[in-house]
Amino acid sequence: MSESTENFGSGILKGLKKVLFNSDTTTDSPEPPAVTVVKIEKTAPEKMIKENKLTGDDGYKDMKLKVYQLLENLNKPGIDFFEVWNAAVEMGGANSTNIKSAFTSLKYADKSLDKTRLLESGQAYINGLNSVIETEAKKRMEEKSRLDKEMENMKSSLDSEIVSLEQQITSLQQRLTEKKSERANIHANYEPKIAEIDIKINAGRQSVNSVLSEMQQVIEIIKKDLN
C-alpha cells in the first residue's frame, strides 16, 4: 500500500463491533461528513451489519460477522472496492450518495482508482467469497453425510438390539405364563398323591391296631387260663 493510501480515512473501519449489536438502523443517510486524511485500519467491516437491519438474532449476527471477516481476509493491498464500500458504510450507509463521496475522497489517496478497478475488484471479492463459501459448504456437507451415516448405523444397531430384547421379553413372558400355570395347578398335581399317602398311613395304623388288639386278647387269655 502506498504512503498516501495508508494516510487516508478517519476511522473508516473503526467502531464496528458496537454497531454489530446495535438494533438501531439508518434509513435516510445525512450528507456525508468531511473526510480527514489519516491511516486506514484493517479490521472486519462489522458496521455493515447495521445496513442489513439485523434485529437481535445473535446467531445470525455471529455468522454474518464471520462472513465479513472472510471478506476482510480476502482484502488485497491498496484501495479498491473493499475500501470504498467500507468508507460508504462508515459515512452512514452504502447508498449512492455515500459511495460517490467515498470514491471521490479515496481518489485523493490513490489517483489510479477508477470505476473499472472498483467493478473488477468487487466482482473478484464476490467470486472469492463464493469460492470460500462453496468450499466450506462442501466440508459441512461431508460432515453432514458422515453424521447421517453414523446415525443410520446407530439406528440399525439399536433396532437389532430392540428386536433381540423384544424376543427375550416374549420368551420370558411365555415362560412366566407357563410357571404361573404350573403354580396354579400344583395342588391338583400333588394333593392326590398326598391323600393316597394319608389313606395308606391310616390303613396301616388300623391294621396294626387290629393286630395289636388280637395280640392283647391272647395275652389276657394266657394270663387268665394258663397255670
Last residue of some domain: 63, 82, 113? 113
Residue 154 lies in a domain: no
Does residue 189 share a domain with residue 109? no
Residue 94 lies in a domain: yes
Retrieve residue 138's grid coordinates: 462442501
| CA nearest to 75, candidates 11, 13, 10 | 13
Residue 123 lies in a domain: no
Residue 158 lies in a domain: no
Reported as a pLDDT band with limits 50, 70 and 90, residue 49 is very low
pTM of the model: 0.51
Residue 163 lies in a domain: no
- State the Cα–Cα distance between residues 70 and 130, nearest whole angstrom: 11
Judged by phi (left if over 0) then psi (alpha if -120 to 50, else beta), residue 154 lies in: alpha
Last residue of some domain: 113, 142, 176? 113
What is the number of domains present in the chain? 2
Which residues span the domain enclosing 213? 185-225
User: Has residue 47 got a pLDDT over 70?
Assistant: no
Residue 211 lies in a domain: yes
User: Percentage of the chain surpassing pLDDT 90?
Assistant: 43
Residue 170 lies in a domain: no
In the chain, count H helices and then E strands. 8, 0
